[in-house]
Structure 1
């Protein structure tokens, strides 16, 4: 195939090489445009006025500099350009022309001075990328570090992989932490109840606490362990089977005291501003209304002992049914009350486990303890919370594919699912019994998402080519995963993940215990984005509009699931498919496709959001009001009944084994909790939806310190701007 002509002709007939494309610092590949250099010089040199009181560059001066820069680039004969390289040439040109002050504000200190200034005042780089970050100086510091780290890792990656990310073929999540830490982790609380707490992982920088002997200390250790863990991970931290493991500390304790300690736990988790960028720890706790059957006959682990009849008298978790029920009630009661302003608690996310064990009441226990709430009472309480605040997430373990009773399984972080199954883990029984301190360790190494609509654009209507394009993108993900694993081995060897890699002193033998996190057991997650737009381009219909589109989506996801299994075996890593829980990724892919000439026309026909406004803003900002639909979801704006949406989306849950979610939007309505519960339990029994949530819109007055209600005076009269909270 002949090379494309890379020259253009001037009016005088002189051939001039075209300028190569530019890899931008914010993650895209775009065409070279001299005007961007001019605009940047004019805008950034305004800081000379702010910092030094000098005049900034005029349009004429900036144009002269840009022409000199362009001439130098051509003379170098470069085949590729990057934003940082252009900036270096601009700075050299400014120095050569004696414009030292301009150079000082245009140069890089890891990031351009102008960009750093915007970050300091809450604007600029990813200012709206994470709703959990606070408006404080620590967030500014994090954003600067993020920007530098992302550029570093893109430079360290092989160029073809970096280009796949930059061009929008794939998205490497939490790129700023790619070279230093795994993604997320679900913890076995028994580890800390047995060994105590070593917050720094090695005992050299922080005080080391022995195993908790009292309930309040156990609760505080649970809080601080998650706070410490987030320093070693990029994503969320959680506990599975939280209440069962904690219950022995609360034996025979009055409900008022239990409630007080659960209130302490919730407030600690929502007032501990220690996570990345001074934010709250993104935390979750799996909650069951009673002791699961799998754990009833297993020895308890608390107060630094395994109560197995050897280290201590035999005590099993089944003895603490009362405590688990009251802990469940107390935690939900606290969340129902809200904080001092009546606002909902953001964390920890209560992951309500809907299990076969609790669909039938324990009649004998209930008759013997008539003062205790039943399973139905406790579940109903969670739906009161869902109706009021939309806080709970529901982990439906009823479908056969979830393997209830055959292993352990949980959802955490945003919507990632982790599991450990008896027939796939030779140590499963030992972990259940905490034998030799063996314990469960579940989490994810890394998430990389695919731009599914782009695969459809490339396929040009050919089914097999579509599947081939998707498999090719998965191959790219595996290349990224291998590099992640290699880099993290270096980090581990240099002792840079001390909390995750800790091996504390055994309280009985004095020997070093097993490592806290089994890194080899973490999964690699491939996220899917825009399946709806993929089939829309390929078939002409969205998921909900035709049977053909729906069948193609199922076929494509099944092909990907089968290929993920093949890749797992071939590369000795566990690969899971997931719905990507990062809405900004859907936006980034849509923007990338509009920026790319060969995909622009196709993308314009299927992207969601305000495409007209987005096209008008194209070239001025990347923060366009457009997006691709997340995961395998039906488009949010699709005008179909909830039952139809459920009928379509539930089919994908067994396929997307790494995590998925079904949203039920309540708007500002507050429906009857019993009605919600009836609907939800029917959903659990009759569909394959494994994880769902009721989402409410709330408006809180920052002046009157309370939630706005329709019986109050007009909203515009007393509510501050930007105070709408989506639960």
Structure 2
């Protein structure tokens, strides 16, 4: 049995040294010069660390963001925050707002399961706004039933099937994995298209957006009600929808025909992710923030804001200034500066932007693309020798993304 030799605060200098070394290693890229796709690096911003004392460390992180766009930022400034918020790169989140004890809420537990609600389909089926909530109730009833089955199966895997015995290790009087503290979440996709079907305009319209916020608040209220009824940890998440946004749009286009409002063209259709603004928006970055920040406090199970950066190399100091503004002046809880990259597999040249031809050796077929699919930075699968890649809907979304310059 180990002995307590101090608290986390006693090892701040060692932690900073590790963080700095880790970030410097990521800046170097892999042995071919490509970005390291894993592990995801998530940097938490607090008032205690957004000071001149930590400026050198923070700037190094923004060099990494400027080069590869792989860093994530957690914002602990908003009023809806507690003292701790742990994120995965895909956006799933654990906050210390369950019991108020960060150990119980954030450690040795996780996001057990979520079910995604197809919001555009609700829009197609509803005669008016009031019927939207009737459908939401019906969809959430199905989701609750499904999630309880998922939890029951999880308990069997943990307790009866002994699939992952290390999770059952005893720590004090409890098992290592505390399934009683894990989340069951309502996810959703396509709020923008649902609003378009109801109002003729999507989330960028102020009146439509007010109704959108009302709908997600309604789902969040149901999650809070279930907490009281069941004693379990219910939540709401912006589903990453790496395949679901494409699958739902494809199925709805087949079932509803021209009534279905989808992004993309031909067979490469997709729905806008969760409560995001469409990727081809004509809005400024600040206007985009003002819309999407309204949803972060009511999606405590996870959310993300994407700043899709331009093809020119970003300036770390400009990104630092933008980070400071987002952290201190918005309710954005989690975000990333996403950069499109190309890499020639033949001569190992790394390029900014989506390039079809390598400017160094002229290679056309084996130039791979990289960008953030919805959470993680991944290879797109453009290169001839690629072993996998994005589905047609996500590829079309990548092409459609409007990029923002940082200067």
Distance 2:32 2:186 in 1: 40
Partner residue in 1 for 2:270? 627
- 1:446-470 per-position Cα deviation (integer Å, ceiling 9, x unaligned): 121000011111112x112101211
Picking from 99, 104, 108, the partner of 1:424 is: 99
Q: CA–CA distance in 2 between the matches of 1:450 and 1:569?
A: 22
2:131 to 465, 468, 493: 465
Per-residue deviation at 1:667? Answer: 3.6
| Structure 1 equivalent of residue 233 of structure 2 | 574
Mapped partners of 1:496, 1:584: distance in 2? 27
1:476 to 112, 126, 142: 142
CA–CA distance in structure 2, aligned partners of residues 709 and 653 of structure 1: 30
Give the drift of 1:409.
1.5
Q: TM-score if structure 2 supplies the norm length?
A: 0.85
Deviates more, 1:494-503 or 1:475-484: 494-503
Work out the CA distance in 1 between the residues paired with 2:129 and 2:361.
Answer: 52
Kindly report which structure 2 residues correspond to 1:321-470, keeping only aligned pairs within 5 A, or say none: 321-361=12-52, 374-404=53-83, 408-421=84-97, 424=99, 428=101, 431=103, 440-460=107-127, 462-470=128-136
Q: Which string of whole-angstrom CA distances, capped at 9 and with x for unpartnered residues, describes residues 228-272 of structure 1?
A: xxxxxxxxxxxxxxxxxxxxxxxxxxxxxxxxxxxxxxxxxxxxx
Shift of 1:725: 1.4
CA deviation map 1:615-654 (0-9, x unaligned): xxxxxxxxxx001101100111121111111111111110
Query: 1:82-481 alignment to 2 at 5 Å?
Result: 304-307=2-5, 315-361=6-52, 374-404=53-83, 408-421=84-97, 424=99, 428=101, 431=103, 440-460=107-127, 462-481=128-147
Question: Structure 1: which 5+ runs fail to align?
Answer: 1-193, 195-303, 308-314, 362-373, 433-437, 505-511, 615-624
1:350, distance to aligned residue in structure 2 (A):
0.6
Q: Which residue of 2 aligns with 1:517?
A: 177
| Root-mean-square deviation (Å) | 2.3
Is 1:718–2:397 an aligned residue pair? no
State how far apart, in whole Å, the 1-side matches of 2:336 and 2:71 are.
7
Query: In the TM superposition, what is the alpha-carbon distance from 1:698 to its structure 2 partner?
Result: 1.0
> How far has the Cα of 1:716 moved from its partner?
7.8
State the alpha-carbon separation in 2 of the partners of residues 702 and 337 from structure 1.
Answer: 18
Structure 1 stretches of 4+ moved >4 Å: none
Q: Is the Cα contact below 8 Å between 1:664 and 1:694 reproduced in 2?
A: yes
Q: Secondary structure at the match of 1:305?
A: coil
Q: How does 1:557-706 map to 2 (within 5 A)?
A: 557-596=216-255, 599-603=256-260, 606-610=261-265, 613-614=266-267, 625-706=268-349
Contact 2:309 2:337 in 1 (8 A): yes
Contact 2:59-2:320 within 8 A present in 1 as well:
yes
TM-score when scaled to structure 1? Answer: 0.49
Taking a change above 3 Å as real, the CA distance of residues 424 and 699 of structure 1, as seen in their structure-2 partners, is same
TM alignment of 1:47-86, pairs within 5 A: none
Distance 2:106 2:289 in 1: 36
**Cα distance in 1 between the residues matched to 2:241 and 2:360:** 30
Between Structure 1 and Structure 2, which shows a larger proportion of helix residues? 1
Q: Encode CA deviations 1:358-388: one digit per residue, 9 max, x unaligned.
A: 1235xxxxxxxxxxxx311111111110000
- Structure 2 residue runs without a partner (length 5+): 372-376, 378-407
* Separation (CA, whole Å) in 2 of partners of 1:470 and 1:722: 44
Question: 1:21-49: CA deviations, max 9, x gaps?
Answer: xxxxxxxxxxxxxxxxxxxxxxxxxxxxx
Residue 383 of structure 2 corresponds to none
Q: What is the number of equivalent residue pairs in this alignment?
A: 369
How do 1:497-536 and structure 2 match up within 5 A? 497-503=164-170, 514-536=174-196
8 A Cα contact 1:396 1:690, kept in partner: yes
Separation of aligned partners in 2, 1:451 and 1:439? 29
Of the two structures, which has the highest relative contact order with CA contacts closer than 8 Å and spacing of 6 or more?
2
The answer to whether the Cα contact below 8 Å between 2:91 and 2:304 also exists between their aligned partners in 1 is: yes
